[in-house]
Amino acid sequence: MTGADSFSVRSLRGTDRRLWHLGWLPVLAALLLTLIGWEAIGTTEPGYAQRQLLFFPIALAVAVVIGWIHPRWMDRWAVPFYIVALALLLFVLVPGVPEALVRQRKGARRWINLVVVDFQPSELAKIGMILVLAQWLRAREDITKWQGLIVPAALAVVPFVLILLEPDLGTAMTLVPTAAAMLLAAGCRRRHVVVAMLVGAVLAPAAYPFLRPHQRARVDALAAQIVGDTRYARDIGFQADRAMTLIGAGGVTGQGEAGAQRLLETNALPEEHNDMIFSSVACRWGLRGSILLLAACATLSLGALAVAASVRDRGGRLIAVGIAALLGTQVIVNIGMNIGVLPITGMTLPFVSYGGTSLVASWIMVGMLWSVASARRADTLRAAFQLQR
């Protein structure tokens, strides 16, 4: 290890950090999304909005600290971080854990009670997977072959399965495109990815019988909803039906704060401040608000990809691509389920949905992007070169 690599404040920050770079794009987008989220949560739950406002400085502080740290440390801490995240995922699944620590909600064991806040290990696991995949892929040439994909696939599959067991199908599914995007960016052959996706597409219907009853019902409800069948609108399709109605009710200009508040309350949309926050946004601000939010999300994800394209360090690039894919997938899945093109899953809209863990985790990713983007080329090039065989 060189002197620069020894643990010190100077080494943590690294030298030659830039101030002006593409990392600002996701930062600004995340700020805008956080603002929209805070205002949207306040539509029906002003108390939650205040709490979200308290979470924001914490999330921002964590992001600033992470952004300040040089990306090489992410590479170093990737494996321990990944192991800790997996350990926490296992922890919530262990049967004997007291309910005071892991409380089962709606049949799922996803949260650890930290007294002041509930913490979701899966949020850490997503970041952990990105870090460990980036670390593994940055120095590999054999990913052009099938056998080269075994280790990265295993690194993704372990958290995938653990999250699936919680159960949290939505979060688990976000790991798939994230890992696929990172493999593509790392140089994996496209045809391998295409073949894997085709196999997945073919096998997906075969997985239907293994889904839990409520998951199968949601798929059925989505299929019915797409063909205009309202059979499920009063039970399993209730949430999606209400969400679409409220989004549509927003029109172009929106219903305003009072109108949206009334409609959201009387239409009894569940999770309107959380997973279904997009419906609140669309109802209150209409198409203008929806498109603004969508544009901010696009800026965030594409900005992350731009960051990836702008740096030479292979690990940093892959981290940025992973974050872009992860955030993009979350946005697409969340909005998709709100507008009735994807089944309902427990998936938050990054930066916008209410929830401390989600907000902090999302800002951690922004911090990681800042860190990657702000590292100078020479610095990163050398690191990348050193690791190449």
Partner 1 sequence: MSRGGVGTFRSGTALVAWVMVACFAVLAARLVQLQVLDHGTHIARAQSREAARTRSETVLPRIRGRIVDRNGVVLADNADSYEIALAYEFMTGEWEEERVRILEREAAGGRAALARVPAVERAALHDRAVKQAFAESGAIVKSVADAASVSPEVIETAMDEIVASVSRRGDAYRARLAARGTQAKERLREETEAHAVAESLPAEATFAVNKMQDRFPDVLEVRSAPRRVYPERQARVVLSNDGLPGRLGHRAPVQVHLTDVGDLIVGSVRDQVQAVDLRRRPFDGDTIDWGGYREASDLIGTRGIERAWEDTLRGAWGMRERRKHADDTVTEQILRAPVDGDDVQLTIDIQLQARAQAILSPEYGLTLSQQEFHTPNADMPRGIELNAVVVVVDIETGEILAMASQPGPAAAANMSDAEERARSPWIDRSVDAVYAPGSILKPIMYVSAVSGGSATPDEVIACTGHFFPERKDSARCWIYRPKYGLATHGPLSPREALARSCNIYFYELADRMGPQATVQWLRDWGLGSPLHVGLEGWRERSEGEFVRAGEAGGTVPSERRIQEWQSSRDRFSGVILGIGQGELSWTPVQAASALATLARGGSRHDAHIVMGRPIEGNRSEGSLGLDSRAVTNALTGMRSAIEASYGTANNVTTAAGREEIFGLPGVRVWGKTGTAQAGVWRLDTDGDGGADREVKDADHAWFAALIGGEGDARPRYAIVAVVERAGSGGRAAGPIAAAMARELVNLGYLRGEGARSRAIRPHGDEPEADE
Amino acid letter, residue 333: V
Which of these, 268, 262, 253, 269, lies nearest to 338 by C-alpha position? 269
Question: Is 128 or 250 the residue whose CB approaches partner 1 more closely?
Answer: 250
Name the one range near partner 1 by CB under 8 A: 26-34, 85-93, 150-158, 287-295. 287-295
Give the single-character DSSP code of 94: -
CB of 174 to partner 1, least distance (A): 13
Q: How far is the CB of 240 from partner 1 (least distance, A)?
A: 12
Beta bridge partner(s), residue 23 = none
Residue 267 within binding range of partner 1, rule CB under 8 A: yes
Is residue 260 helix, strand or coil?
Answer: helix
Q: Is 187 in the site for partner 1 (CB under 8 A)?
A: yes
- Selected range binding partner 1 among 14-22, 65-73, 296-304, 367-375, rule: CB under 8 A: 296-304
If the CB atoms of residues 11 and 110 are measured against partner 1, the closer one turns out to be 110
248 binding partner 1? (CB under 8 A)? yes
Hey, what amino acid is at 74? Answer: M
Residue 365 contacts residue 303 (beta carbons within 8 Å): no
Which positions from 40 to 79 touch partner 1 by CB under 8 A, shown as an x/- string? -----xxxx-xx----------------------------
The closest of 186, 214, 171 to 333, measured between CA atoms, is 171
Can residue 378 be called a binding residue for partner 1 (CB under 8 A)?
no
Considering the rule CB under 8 A, would residue 151 count as an interface residue with partner 1?
no
Contact 272, 264 (CB under 8 A): yes
Nearest to 388 by CA among 310, 320, 312, 314: 314
Residue placing its CB nearer to partner 1 in the complex, 13 or 377: 377
Helices 121-137, 71-93: axis angle to 10 degrees equals 140
Query: Which x/- pattern over 104-143 shows residues binding partner 1 (rule: CB under 8 A)?
Result: -x-------x-xxxx---------------------xx-x
Site for partner 1 (CB under 8 A): how many residues?
68
Using rule CB under 8 A, residue 309 touches partner 1: yes
Any contact of residue 245 with partner 1 (CB under 8 A)?
Answer: yes
Quote the CA–CA distance of 324 and 326 in Å, as a whole number: 6
- Residue 218 CA to residue 167 CA, distance in Å, equals 15
Number of H helices, E strands in the chain: 15, 2
Contact status, residue 172 vs residue 134, Cβ threshold 8 Å:
no
Query: What distance lies between CA 326 and its chain's CA centroid?
Result: 5
Looking at 341, 376, 377, 387, which residue binds partner 1 (CB under 8 A)? 341
Q: Are 44 and 272 in contact (CB under 8 A)?
A: yes
Residues lying near partner 1 in the complex (CB under 8 A) are found at 45-48, 50-51, 103, 105, 113, 115-118, 140-141, 143-144, 181, 184-188, 190, 228, 230-231, 234, 244-252, 262-263, 266-268, 282, 286-287, 290-291, 294, 297-298, 301-302, 305, 308-309, 312, 314, 317, 321, 324-325, 328, 332, 335-336, 339-341
